[in-house]
Every structure is written in C-alpha cells, then in structure tokens.
Amino acid sequence: NAGVTQTPKFQVLKTGQSMTLQCAQDMNHEYMSWYRQDPGMGLRLIHYSVGAGITDQGEVPNGYNVSRSTTEDFPLRLLSAAPSQTSVYFCASSYSPGRGKKLFFGSGTQLSVL
C-alpha cells in the first residue's frame, strides 16, 4: 500500500550543486506533478506529466527539469541549486488530469540550499 513515494525526505545542498528528487507511484496513475510550497503560501506547480513521454511546465518551472520515461516514475532535477529553491517539494499523482480526480501526495522533501 505504498501510494506515492518521495525520496529523500530532507536534503541540504550548496549553491550550484545539482540533485534529483525521486518520485514513484504504484497506482498506475496517468497524471503526475511536482509542487513547491513556500512558507505562508499555497502550493505552486513546477512541472507535470499526463503520461509516459509527456511533460509540461507549470507556474514556476525555471531551474528544474523533469522526464517521464515510465508510468511509475517522475523525477525532478535541480540543475544548479540556488537559495531561492529552498522549499518543501511535493510529488502528487492522480488517475487522470480530469476535474474530479483528487491528487495523492507524497510525504514531501524539505530542501535547503545554502
């Protein structure tokens, strides 16, 4: 009963370093997405995917890359970390992008960039 699995839970990076946040779901969901949550704000969409091989940008895509080679996995890559990318990151998925389909969330990754 894994659902959406995100790793790592915590990460500290130095400015300029790169890293990949991993996200995997075992529910055969078509739709996967990455959000960031900053203090006092709602979630903001970084990138999303509506199926293997299909990705698109959200509201705040700069500095991040994604790929979707399988239905299950949707990694988020930080190319050159900046302090402005300090945030909590959530991966989320749903059966489809449809209006009635709720998102299932991972447990989040707290990222600090020094």
Partner 1 sequence: AQKITQTQPGMFVQEKEAVTLDCTYDTSDPSYGLFWYKQPSSGEMIFLIYQGSYDQQNATEGRYSLNFQKARKSANLVISASQLGDSAMYFCAMRDTDSNYQLIWGAGTKLIIKP
Q: Which is nearer to partner 1, 17 or 44 (CB)?
A: 44
Pattern 21-40, binding to partner 1, x per CB under 8 A?
Answer: ----------x-x------x
| Shortest CB 56 distance to partner 1, Å | 8
108 is an interface residue for partner 1 by CB under 8 A: yes
End-to-end CA, the chain: 36
Give the nearer residue to partner 1 in terms of CB position, either 57 or 80.
57
Question: In the bound complex, what is the minimum distance in angstroms from residue 104's beta carbon to partner 1?
Answer: 8
DSSP 83: G
CB of 110 to partner 1, least distance (A): 8
Smallest distance from partner 1 to CB 88, Å = 7
- If we measure between CA atoms, which residue out of 82, 39, 48 comes closest to residue 63? 82
CA–CA distance, 32 with 96 (Å, rounded to integer): 9
Residue among 108, 109, 98, 91 at smallest CA distance from 24: 91
Identify the CA nearest to 113 among candidates 26, 1, 17.
17
- Report the residue from 22, 44, 52, 86 that binds partner 1 according to the rule CB under 8 A: 44
Does residue 92 touch partner 1 according to CB under 8 A?
Answer: yes
85, 111 contact by CB (below 8 A): yes
